[in-house]
Structures are given as structure tokens and as C-alpha cells.
Structure 1
Amino acid sequence: MKILITGANGQLGRELANQYKEIKGIDLILAKREDLDITNVHNVYSFVNEMEPDVIINCAAHTAVDKCETEEDMAYKINAIGPKNLASAANQIGAEIVQVSTDYVFDGNLNKSLTEFDPVNPQTVYGKTKLEGEILVKNHNPKHYIVRTAWLYGDGNNFVKTMINLSKTHKTMKVVNDQKGTPTSTKDLARVIIKLIEDKNYGVFHCTCKGECTWYEFTKEIFRIKGIDTEVSPCTTDEFPRPAKRPEYSVLRNYMLELTTGDITRTWQEAIKEYLE
């Protein structure tokens, strides 16, 4: 099986490549931004027709949530038009497509764990563009896997590394305690994506680790595991105003996984412990 991973430099792209290298019979095509401009339809068709992948996993995205508010055109190009181009090119050669999406497609106001059947209502440019990406992929390729995740960390820049680095220069820190979600390891997400492809289980799926916490609680657990003695105190979102509105409660339930192939993700505590150790 030949698999094309776009955004191969990112946290998820790297983890997928690592896991696929352990699986026999997989021919990997790792495309970085300089190799493939997913926003250029001619570039995409030419690349896909030449490489002839069986599956395209799109890990490329404009994920700078606050920047998306001021770079709306770029966000739509990368998060909506790019996936459309890949889905269309894949469909033309009979290939499948995996589109990675986000908890930001919800407004975060329901105060319950969200399933794939709950109504979407994005409140930010990032969320709107990612939702449009989902819709365009569905419309342009019936062989699609749309996988929504949240609070992702792995090999690259992420919240975990930021907090550890800040602790080296700060004796005290304030961290937001009124936003709830689920920290998710790229290892768990990659395992699920690989399993969905193996099972040809098309559709929309949520994939986060199990459980929930606030950013404050997550930071406290990171510091506990690492033995960091920086003092962490809780604060509100209003104390740290940002250009893009953050969902207050965006805990995703892996409901479709539970109902179909089974949920193979770990608790967020297990996953972060392994990551830090």
C-alpha cells in the first residue's frame, strides 16, 4: 500500500511516519510544504497522478488559531481549499483521503462531551475554515475519513514543551482553569488513523485520549511528573484575552470509534506520562 502524508514535518506527520515504518508492505511518500503546495490545484493533481497513492493523509493545516483571525484568506486556502484539492485528486485515481480536523468546529457551549452527531457551530476563523475543509472533503471524495482531535502534542512545538520551557525562567505561573478539553498524544491519534484505514471504516470520527481536564490541571500534571517546582495558580480566560475565542468545554467523545472498531486510545494521564518519561 502506498501512503502519501502531507504536512509530513508536523507533529502528527512525523508520528504517522514512525508508526508506518514499523508496518510491512507500506510505501511512504512524505510531502513537506516545499514538496507540495496543497493550495495549488494543478500542483496537487500533477503530484498525486505521478505518485499514485492508495491513501492520502492530510496533516497540513494553518493551525495558528489567533493568526487565522487576521489571515482569513490564507486560512481558507490551507484549511479548506487544500483539502478539497487533495480529495478531488485522490477521487480521480480511486484513492482514499484522511482529513484531520478539530474540536474548534463546535462552539464549546453545550457543557457535555461532544459526539460526532452533535451540531457544529464554529466561533473562530480557524474553526470555520476547518469545518469547510470537512465539508469539501465529504463532497469531493466518498472514500473519506474525517478525524477530529484536540489539544495535540508530540514531536514538535506544543503546549507541553512551552510550559516546561517557561518553568525554567518563571518561579510562578498563571494558567487558564475555565477551558476544558482532552490532551491528546500523536501516538494515540496515529494508531487510530492507521486502524481506520486498515478497516476501511469511512466516516467522521472523534479521536482524543480519554478523560478531561483544564489547561491548569494539565500543567500541574506535567510539572508533577517532571518534578518541576514552579508554582502554578489558576486564572480565567478573561485574564488572558486572545484574538480567537477558545471553546469553554470541548471534550470530544470518541463515540463512532466506540460504536464501530472500538476505542483504542489511552487516558490522557497515561499518554502524557509516557511522553514525558
Structure 2
Amino acid sequence: MRVLITGSNGQLGRAIKKESQNFESLKLYFTDIEETDICSKESVKAAFEKYTPNIVVNCAAYTAVDSAEDERENAYALNAQAPANLAEQCVTKNIKLIHISTDYVFDGKGNTPYLETDKVNPLSVYGQSKLKGEELAMAIGNTMVIRTSWLYSAYGNNFMKSILKYGQERPELRVVFDQTGTPTLANDLAIAILQIVQKTDKLFVPEIFHFSNQGVCSWFDFAYEIIKQAGLSTKIIPITTNEYPTKAIRPQYSVLNKQKISNLLEMGIPHWRQSLVKCLQEYLR
């Protein structure tokens, strides 16, 4: 099985590279935006001719949520047009596409974990561009969408690493307590993706799925646990979203229901605290 991974230098791309060591039957090829501009149809076509994949996993995305408010064109190019370009080539060559999306397609006004079939209503340009990418790719065909939330890892820029950095520099940190979701260790998502890729005939379903770790927390809870597990003495102070204004509006509640993908993979999904311990052990050793 020949697998092309786009966005190879991002958190998820790097996690797939690490976890793929346990999936020896797969032949993985990694490409990033510098080598393959997936916003360009010609570049996508050239990459498909070079790597001749059986399946493509699109990990590339414009993820700067606040910057997207001012860089709408860039966000839509990478989050909407690029997955459409990939899907078009996949359909032409009968290749399957796994496209990664986000919990930010929801408006956060619910209070029970979101199902794949629940109404979408993104509040930000980032969320709107990601939803457009889902819609375009799925309308073209051969596309499986996996929405995830609050992605972090030992690689790249993310909330965990920011809290560790500032926790070592400052005596206290102010973190919002009224936005609720679930952190997702990129490595756990990578393993789920690789399992689907390894058994494509059985597990690839051209529908929307949700994947995050288990459990529910606020950003405050997550920060508190990071500081505690890292053995730091930094004080974490809970604040409201109104006390920490940002350019983009985030959903207040974006917990994802994972039952559909759990049933598909016939596997349990780790709790976010359990995965945080694993990630910190890797990052701090």
C-alpha cells in the first residue's frame, strides 16, 4: 500500500511518520507545501504522478485561527481549495483521500458531544474554510473526513508546549475556563489513521468521522494538568473568554462524539489525561 502524506512537517504529519514504524506493510511518502503546493492543481497532479499513491492523507492546513480573520484568502486556499484539488486527482485516478478537519465547524451552542450528523455553523474564518474544504472534497468523492479537536504533540507549536514554556518563565498564567472540549494527542490520531490505511478495503468509508481523546475539559483544566504533570509550581488562574478577547470567536463547547470511529476501528480511545502523560514523558525526557 503506497500512502502519500501531505503536511508532513506539521504535528500530525510528524506523528504519522513516528507511528508508521509499527505499520511495516505500508510504504509512506511524505511531502510538504514547499515541495508540493497543494493549492495548485498542477503541483498536485505532479505529486500523484511522482508517488503513485493508493491513498492520500491530507494533514496540511492553515491553522492560525486568529490570523485567518485577516488572511481569509490564504485560509481558504489551503483549507478549502487544496482538499478539493486532492479529491479531484483522487477521483481521476481512483485513489482514496483521508482529509483532516476540525471541531471548529460547530458553533459550540450544544451541551452534548457533537455527532457527525449534527448541524454545522462555524463562527470563524478558520472554521468556515475548513467546512468548505469538507464539503468540496466530499462532493467530488472518494473522501473520508476525520474531524479532530485541540491537537497537540511533542512537535510543532501547540497549547501544551506554550503552557510549559510560559510556566517556566512566569509565576502565574491566566487561562480560560469557559471553553470546553477535548485535547487530542496527534500520535493517537495518527495510529487511528494508519489503522484505516492498513485495512483500507474494510475500514475506509467515504463519510465524516470524529476522533479526539476521551474525556472532557476546559482549557484551564488542560493547562492545570500540564503544569501538574510537569512538576511546575506555576499558578493557573481561571478567567472567562471575555477577559481574554481574541480576533476569532471560538466555540464554547466542542466535545466530539467518537462512537462511530470507535465502532469502525473496534478499539478503545485513550483518555486525554493518559495521553498527556505519554506525551510529556516523550517531550521532557
Determine which of 199, 203, 206 is the counterpart of 1:200: 203
Question: Counterparts in 2 of 1:237-256, with a 5 A limit?
Answer: 237-256=241-260
Work out whether residues 254 and 263 of structure 1, in 8 Å CA contact, stay in contact via their aligned partners in 2: no
Which residue is equivalent to 1:82?
A: 82
Q: TM-score, normalised by structure 1?
A: 0.97
Question: Counterparts in 2 of 1:1-277, with a 5 A limit?
Answer: 1-141=1-141, 143-154=142-153, 155-197=155-197, 198=199, 199-202=202-205, 203-277=207-281
Unpaired runs of at least 5, structure 1: none
Q: How far is 1:49 from its partner? A: 2.3
* Partner SS state of residue 175, structure 2: strand
Q: How far is 1:176 from its partner? A: 0.4
Work out whether residues 192 and 264 of structure 1, in 8 Å CA contact, stay in contact via their aligned partners in 2: no
Could you tell me which amino acid in structure 2 is paired with residue 17 of structure 1? K
* Partner SS state of residue 162, structure 2: helix
* Partner SS state of residue 129, structure 2: helix
* 1:33-85 deviation line (CA, Å, top 9, x unaligned): 11100001111112212321011100100000001111001111100000000
Equivalents in 2 of 1:35, 1:125: separation in Å? 26
Work out whether residues 192 and 265 of structure 1, in 8 Å CA contact, stay in contact via their aligned partners in 2: no
Work out whether residues 181 and 212 of structure 1, in 8 Å CA contact, stay in contact via their aligned partners in 2: yes
Equivalents in 1 of 2:235, 2:53: separation in Å? 50
Equivalents in 1 of 2:254, 2:145: separation in Å? 17
Q: TM-score, normalised by structure 2?
A: 0.94
Runs of 4+ residues deviating >4 angstroms: none
Root-mean-square deviation (Å): 1.1
Equivalents in 1 of 2:107, 2:249: separation in Å? 9
Equivalents in 2 of 1:264, 1:188: separation in Å? 11
Q: How far is 1:23 from its partner? A: 1.7
Q: How far is 1:263 from its partner? A: 4.4
Work out whether residues 23 and 194 of structure 2, in 8 Å CA contact, stay in contact via their aligned partners in 1: no
Could you tell me which amino acid in structure 1 is paired with residue 169 of structure 2? T
Equivalents in 1 of 2:133, 2:44: separation in Å? 16
Equivalents in 2 of 1:272, 1:61: separation in Å? 23
Work out whether residues 52 and 93 of structure 1, in 8 Å CA contact, stay in contact via their aligned partners in 2: no
Equivalents in 1 of 2:107, 2:213: separation in Å? 20
Work out whether residues 150 and 183 of structure 2, in 8 Å CA contact, stay in contact via their aligned partners in 1: yes
* Partner SS state of residue 248, structure 2: coil
* Partner SS state of residue 148, structure 1: strand
Bigger shift: residues 250-259 or 176-185: 250-259
Could you tell me which amino acid in structure 1 is paired with residue 127 of structure 2? G
Equivalents in 1 of 2:50, 2:264: separation in Å? 34
Work out whether residues 171 and 230 of structure 1, in 8 Å CA contact, stay in contact via their aligned partners in 2: yes
User: What percentage of aligned pairs have identical amino acids?
Assistant: 37
Could you tell me which amino acid in structure 1 is paired with residue 147 of structure 2? R
Could you tell me which amino acid in structure 2 is paired with residue 90 of structure 1? C
* 1:133-191 deviation line (CA, Å, top 9, x unaligned): 001111112x2220000000112211001001001211011110000010110111011
* 1:106-136 deviation line (CA, Å, top 9, x unaligned): 0000121111111111111100110010011
* Partner SS state of residue 246, structure 1: coil
Q: How far is 1:91 from its partner? A: 1.4
Bigger shift: residues 216-225 or 258-267: 258-267
Work out whether residues 49 and 93 of structure 1, in 8 Å CA contact, stay in contact via their aligned partners in 2: no
